[in-house]
């Protein structure tokens, strides 16, 4: 079942490593010549993959490249390795001498690709929607000696998204009164393919429109792994500041009630998800509606409902009035954390110690830990050396800083750990 893929990620990667080591160390016949060995258990664009190159002429260097020609332009990465005496470059143990990543990494050629500047919708379509072919090539002495094409399936292959409108959430009597609001899009429901054979835990993704961590990426990854997801925008019409008071408690409640009625969803196992600006919104709903929300997953954001920096407005409304929020002027120690102790199910929180946008992200996590107390099943990830974009699915070349290879690699490692923990938590919630 797809939902078990990342919950067993550590075991899967270990198995791949054993297979790859046997391939690399077994001394395949030299007559076969240089060639790539790619080990993977699933073909999805975010699924673990191990790359090695065998049969090379020992001594000297080899230049490895990954290239993808997409509708948004060409994406590519390049790394140089010393060829050891056995003629095998195993990326998970070989340190590059020149690359956009400093340490050994089994799939660094994929996540380190860079491409043209594109819009958010183009970025999502390229790396969270369509299938993609990635060409791996190796040169020695200026001559190509090996190449292979790896087909990676996008979320469009594994999921079925559909827009949800106000009319879908209203009762017959409410529809008569809705007027022009009747056709307003509320969000997007993303389900796994094929349809689950039993109700599954589901996630409301409070979308803060944070680039690589946008709802399209997160919901696609969740649904591709077997968990239905509802993308609920937390910002208003075009031009309105993300995180503004466009999100209302009523909108969330209507979306949650509608989600609970879907046959694919276990209504007693609904989680909320938020990152950066949307993190405190998601956690607020989990803390204030424990009768309706089972658990929460959040990364790289405050764990208190802060007022906006400009004007001090609340990012949330209820009944048309602003929900009380906390001033950003106060210190974390003087700011009341959200009542995370009220959340009945598990909580997964993450921060990067080198967050370049919210420098005190891990201090906020500590405040959340104190408010929550110790609970079985909770996961609190402090990713040493990682940056801000932890919630983006792994292996996609999105949101990683090109100017700092060390920061980029640490953030990618944090992504893999965060998603492994998040999906394992959802899998344990299956009844």
Instruction: Give tens-digit pLDDT for 62-79.
Output: 999 999 999 999 999 999
CA distances from 339 to 286, 289, 343 (A): 9, 11, 8
Q: In the numeric block, which tokens belong to residue 360?
A: 């005190």
Exposed, middle or buried by CB within 10 Å (0-12, 13-18, 19+), for 167?
Answer: middle
Q: How far apart are the first and last CA of the chain?
A: 15
pLDDT of residue 332: 96
> Is it the case that residue 302 has pLDDT exceeding 80?
yes
Give residue 292's Cα distance to chain centre: 24
Please, which pLDDT band fits residue 179 given cuts at 50, 70 and 90?
low
Query: Looking at residue 283, what DSSP letter applies?
Result: H
Give the residue-averaged pLDDT of 197-218: 86
> Is it the case that residue 174 has pLDDT exceeding 90?
no
- Partnered with residue 291 across adjacent β-strands are none
Provide the percentage of residues in the chain whose pLDDT is more than 70. Answer: 86
Residue 282: closest CA among 353, 319, 233: 233
Give the residue-averaged pLDDT of 382-408: 96
> Is it the case that residue 244 has pLDDT exceeding 50?
no
> Is it the case that residue 25 has pLDDT exceeding 60?
no
Distance CA 210, CA 214 (A): 5
For residues 90 and 129, the answer to whether their CB atoms sit within 8 Å is no
**Residues near 211 by Cβ (< 8 Å), separated by ≥ 6?**
120, 123, 389, 398, 399
Give the residue-averaged pLDDT of 388-408: 95
For residues 199 and 422, the answer to whether their CB atoms sit within 8 Å is no
pLDDT of residue 242: 39
Opening angle at CA 159, ends 289 and 183, nearest 5:
60
Among 118-122, 240-244, 347-351, 425-429, name the one with the lowest average pLDDT.
Answer: 240-244
Rounded to two decimals, the pTM is 0.90
pLDDT of residue 170: 72
Q: Which residue has the tokens 């050891």?
A: 84
Q: In the numeric block, which tokens belong to residue 304?
A: 């208190």
Among 138-152, 228-242, 375-389, name the one with the lowest average pLDDT.
Answer: 228-242
pLDDT of residue 49: 95
> Is it the case that residue 2 has pLDDT exceeding 50?
no
Distance CA 293, CA 271 (A): 6
Neighbours of 185 (CB within 10 A): 11
Return the exposure string of 117-154: e unless at least 16 CB atoms fall within 10 Å of the residue's CB, then b.
ebeeebbbbbbbbbebebebbbbbeeeebbeeebebbb
Of 56-70, 173-187, 223-237, the range with the highest mean pLDDT is 56-70
Please, which pLDDT band fits residue 211 given cuts at 50, 70 and 90?
low
Return the exposure string of 242-263: e unless at least 16 CB atoms fall within 10 Å of the residue's CB, then b.
bbbbbbbbebbebbbebbeeee
| Helix 215-224 and helix 120-128, axial crossing angle in degrees, nearest 10 | 10
Give the residue-averaged pLDDT of 265-283: 96
Distance CA 207, CA 241 (A): 13
> Is it the case that residue 137 has pLDDT exceeding 70?
yes
pLDDT of residue 269: 98
> Is it the case that residue 9 has pLDDT exceeding 80?
no
Q: What is the side-by-side strand order in the sheet with 35-39?
A: 35-39, 50-54, 89-90
pLDDT of residue 12: 46
Distance CA 63, CA 78 (A): 7
Exposed, middle or buried by CB within 10 Å (0-12, 13-18, 19+), for 41?
Answer: middle
pLDDT of residue 214: 84
Q: Which residue has the tokens 């408690």?
A: 249
Report residue 9: phi and psi, to 5°.
-60, -40
CA dihedral for 225, 226, 227, 232, sign (positive or negative): positive
Provide the percentage of residues in the chain whose pLDDT is more than 90. Answer: 77
Please, which pLDDT band fits residue 169 given cuts at 50, 70 and 90?
confident
Distance CA 176, CA 295 (A): 35
pLDDT of residue 146: 98
pLDDT of residue 218: 95
> Is it the case that residue 178 has pLDDT exceeding 70?
no
Distance CA 11, CA 77 (A): 28
pLDDT of residue 203: 98
> Is it the case that residue 287 has pLDDT exceeding 90?
yes
> Is it the case that residue 106 has pLDDT exceeding 50?
yes
Among 48-52, 159-163, 176-180, name the one with the lowest average pLDDT.
Answer: 176-180
Distance CA 344, CA 337 (A): 17
């Amino acid at each position: 079942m797809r939902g078990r893929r990342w919950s067993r990620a550590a075991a899967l990667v270990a198995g791949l490593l054993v297979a790859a080591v046997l391939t690399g160390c077994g001394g395949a016949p030299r007559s076969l010549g240089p060639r790539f060995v790619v080990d993977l258990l699933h073909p999805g664009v975010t699924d673990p993959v191990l790359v090695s190159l065998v049969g090379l002429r020992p001594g000297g260097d080899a230049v490895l490249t990954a290239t993808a020609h997409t509708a948004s332009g060409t994406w590519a990465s390049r790394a140089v390795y010393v060829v050891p005496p056995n003629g095998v470059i195993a990326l998970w143990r070989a340190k590059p001498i020149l690359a956009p990543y400093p340490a050994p990494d089994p799939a660094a050629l994929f996540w380190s690709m860079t491409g043209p500047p594109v819009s958010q919708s183009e970025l999502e379509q390229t790396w969270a929607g369509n299938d993609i072919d990635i060409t791996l090539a190796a040169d020695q002495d200026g001559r190509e000696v090996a190449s292979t094409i790896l087909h990676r399936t996008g979320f469009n292959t594994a999921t079925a998204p559909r827009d949800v409108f106000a009319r879908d959430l209203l009762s017959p009597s409410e529809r008569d009164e809705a007027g022009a609001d009747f056709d307003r899009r509320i969000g997007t429901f993303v389900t796994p393919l094929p349809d689950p054979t039993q109700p599954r835990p589901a996630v409301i993704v409070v979308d803060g429109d944070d680039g690589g961590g946008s709802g399209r990426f997160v919901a696609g990854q969740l649904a591709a792994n077997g968990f239905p997801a509802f993308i609920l925008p937390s910002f208003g019409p075009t031009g309105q500041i993300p995180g503004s008071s466009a999100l209302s408690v009523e909108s969330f409640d209507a979306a949650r009630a509608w989600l609970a009625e879907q046959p694919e969803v276990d209504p007693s196992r609904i989680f909320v998800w938020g990152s950066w600006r949307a993190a405190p919104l998601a956690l607020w709903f989990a803390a204030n509606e424990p009768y309706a929300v089972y658990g929460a997953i959040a990364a790289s954001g405050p764990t208190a409902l802060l007022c906006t920096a400009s004007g001090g407005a609340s990012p949330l409304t209820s009944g048309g009035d602003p929900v009380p929020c906390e001033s950003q002027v106060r210190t974390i120690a003087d700011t009341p954390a959200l009542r995370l102790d009220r959340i009945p199910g598990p909580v997964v929180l993450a921060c990067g110690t080198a967050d370049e946008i919210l420098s005190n992200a891990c201090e906020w996590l500590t405040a959340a830990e104190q408010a929550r107390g110790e609970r079985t099943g909770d996961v609190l990830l402090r990713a040493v050396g990682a940056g801000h974009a932890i919630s983006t699915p792994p292996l996609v070349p999105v949101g990683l800083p090109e100017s700092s290879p060390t920061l980029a690699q640490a953030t990618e490692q944090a992504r893999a750990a965060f998603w492994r923990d998040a999906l394992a938590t959802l899998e344990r919630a299956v009844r």
